[in-house]
Amino acid sequence: MAKWNPFLTDEESDFYNTVFEFSKEKIYPSAEHRDEKEIWDPEIWNQIAKAGLAGLPIPSEYGGQNATCFQCCLATEAFASGSIDGGLGLSWSAHMIIGTMPILLQGNEAQKNKYLPRLASGEWIAGLALTEASSGSDAASLLTRAEETEGGYILNGSKMYITNGPVGQLFIVMARTGNKSRGPMGVSAFLVESSFPGFKVSKLLRKLGHHTSMTAELVFEDMFVPKENLLGPLGSGFLRIGKATLEWERTVLIAGVVGAMEYALESSLNYAKQREQFGKSISNFYAIQEKIVKIWLFMNSARLLIYYAAKEKDKGGSLPLLSSVCKLYASEVSESAANDTIQIFGGYGFMREYQVERFYRDIKLATIGGGTSEIQRSIIFSAFSSSKEITNLFPNLQFASKNLDLLKKMNLEENYFQYLLDALHELHAQSKSLKHQSLEFACSDIITYAFVIDTNLASIKEETNWYSLDQKILDLQLLMPILFYRYVLSFQNLQSYSPHLSNYIKLCMNQHLDYKIIESCFQFLESRL
């Protein structure tokens, strides 16, 4: 079974451990050197390809592994935990998801037969070229143009921050084919090979983190693209291909931060046990225990949210709300976990020796790439307010609101979860009144909070491997006040719009972090070492 992941079946654990051991053995030993020298190592990539990871989601008929979205999340998480190489993990997952999924989702049979076998084998590396220097968060305002000509299109423009730009052979390039006004309409997608005349890697970009992933500005100068390389219907690039791909990105790529938190958790536990100050191990100090427990709670709550989204994605649904909740929550709590990890290690955390500083540098991209936290909040609010029915969004909150035994066991008032549910309905009804962005963002925080609590409540319906039901309940008792105070200003900003939210706030203000539960949880984690 997976050492720090209690939510998997035996078969899932075997898969997780296989990827973990591969990355620990093949990737981790050279990660520090490659990061320091900013090296892309083709031999490392070849090992990833030989392990079958390059073509993970590609159907077996094209040489891939036919993995589900959930399995891709497991692999991404395990890879990050074993290697703590965010850069290489980014290059691999960008190839696997945003460079490959558009062909799977929208490609015709000729395009699939031509490109997918090369991508599955790792012979070719793929990427997505969407962002431009003047269109980051407002990605639909791109300026790169494709003019129709005999037998194809002539592309002119440039793309910025392109992962795998200097090392890739195939890119999904978004270009404007419709009217010249900036916006999502009239954007088409093209399959562009780096060998096409007019394709140029203009500038290799140096970054704060992810040094083992190569990022570049790409330029297209009168580049001819054959007509058969138009991906999907003309004008569908952003509205159909881009949005569907980003849902996969915000679910699968973000799973890597959970793996990084897992590395941070075990490293912090080991360091705290070995490091002595004032005549005893620092693991005896409450301040250290609290930080380590928070890493554990953030890791598992993000993990449960991602797994839920991935499994829903595997059912075939479109999930802009849920995928953005995953991206927002996992990226922001992993940033907190990275900060606490450095603090636990103290001066050593600031040095390269223990490698946790690489986690600290790499994790920042999670709140920026694939849509910033601000963009995710806008998407969450828009999707929530436009939903016709929200009752089914939080089934486990509804279950818990009627489970008096559970409420008693958690020392909660009988109407604790019911107030939150009622508040969500009131906010949905009032959403058109929340016209200022600060109110929209506050509402998004509360929606995110509710999803996190809901998915954690789902996990306490049954015991899971070595993670007992009692321990899950204790952890949830800790998580709820931590999250409430994380979002407390958002709750307060909206209480005038929802009477039930005011009641919920009053109940939450009576909660506190019980140091005895913190100590008990820490002892549980120590026992896993």
The Cα–Cα gap between 70 and 56 comes to 11
Query: Residue 188 in contact with residue 130, Cβ under 8 Å?
Result: no
The Cα–Cα gap between 506 and 509 comes to 5
The Cα–Cα gap between 97 and 74 comes to 14
pTM: 0.96
The Cα–Cα gap between 409 and 386 comes to 36
Rounded to a whole number of angstroms, the CA Rg of the chain reads 23
> Is there a domain that residue 248 lies in?
no
pLDDT number for residue 183: 64
Same domain, 216 and 201: yes
3-state secondary structure of 148: strand
Tell me which residue has tokens 């491997």.
Answer: 465
pLDDT number for residue 462: 80
CATH of the domain at 212: 2.40.110.10
> Is there a domain that residue 81 lies in?
yes
Instruction: Give the chain's length.
Output: 529
Instruction: Say how many C-beta atoms besides its own lie within 10 A of residue 32's C-beta.
Output: 16
> Is there a domain that residue 145 lies in?
yes
pLDDT number for residue 519: 97
CA distances from 489 to 301, 362, 485 (A): 21, 28, 8
The Cα–Cα gap between 158 and 466 comes to 52
The dihedral of CA 490, 73, 209, 118: what is its sign? negative
Same domain, 53 and 39: yes
Same domain, 213 and 268: no
> Is there a domain that residue 3 lies in?
no
387: tokens are 């939903």
Which of 204, 233, 262 is at the close of a domain? 233
CATH of the domain at 479: 1.20.140.10
Same domain, 392 and 333: yes
Which of 233, 267, 302 is at the close of a domain? 233
The dihedral of CA 14, 89, 305, 518: what is its sign? positive
Domains in the chain, number: 3
Same domain, 404 and 433: yes
pLDDT number for residue 239: 75
Same domain, 279 and 199: no
Same domain, 216 and 283: no
- Range of the structural domain that residue 365 is part of: 254-526
CATH of the domain at 30: 1.10.540.10
- Determine phi and psi for 140, rounding to 5 degrees: -70, -10
In tens digits, the chain (529 residues) has pLDDT values of 689 999 999 999 999 999 999 999 999 999 999 999 999 999 999 999 999 999 999 999 999 999 999 999 999 999 999 999 999 999 999 999 999 999 999 999 999 999 999 999 999 999 999 999 988 788 778 899 999 999 999 999 999 999 999 999 999 999 999 766 666 778 999 999 999 999 999 999 999 999 999 999 999 999 999 999 999 999 888 777 777 788 888 899 999 999 999 999 999 999 999 999 999 999 999 999 999 999 999 999 999 999 999 999 999 878 899 999 999 999 999 999 999 999 999 999 999 988 999 999 999 999 999 899 999 999 999 999 999 888 899 999 999 999 999 999 999 999 999 999 999 999 999 999 999 999 999 999 999 999 999 999 999 988 888 999 999 999 999 999 999 999 999 999 999 999 999 999 999 998 888 999 999 999 999 999 9
> Is there a domain that residue 479 lies in?
yes
Query: Residue 238 in contact with residue 135, Cβ under 8 Å?
Result: no
pLDDT number for residue 181: 61
Same domain, 364 and 435: yes
Which of 72, 105, 121 is at the close of a domain? 121
Active site residues: 249
> Is there a domain that residue 114 lies in?
yes
Same domain, 274 and 417: yes
> Is there a domain that residue 247 lies in?
no
The Cα–Cα gap between 283 and 288 comes to 6
Same domain, 364 and 504: yes
> Is there a domain that residue 245 lies in?
no
18: tokens are 């296989």
Same domain, 511 and 400: yes
Same domain, 431 and 402: yes
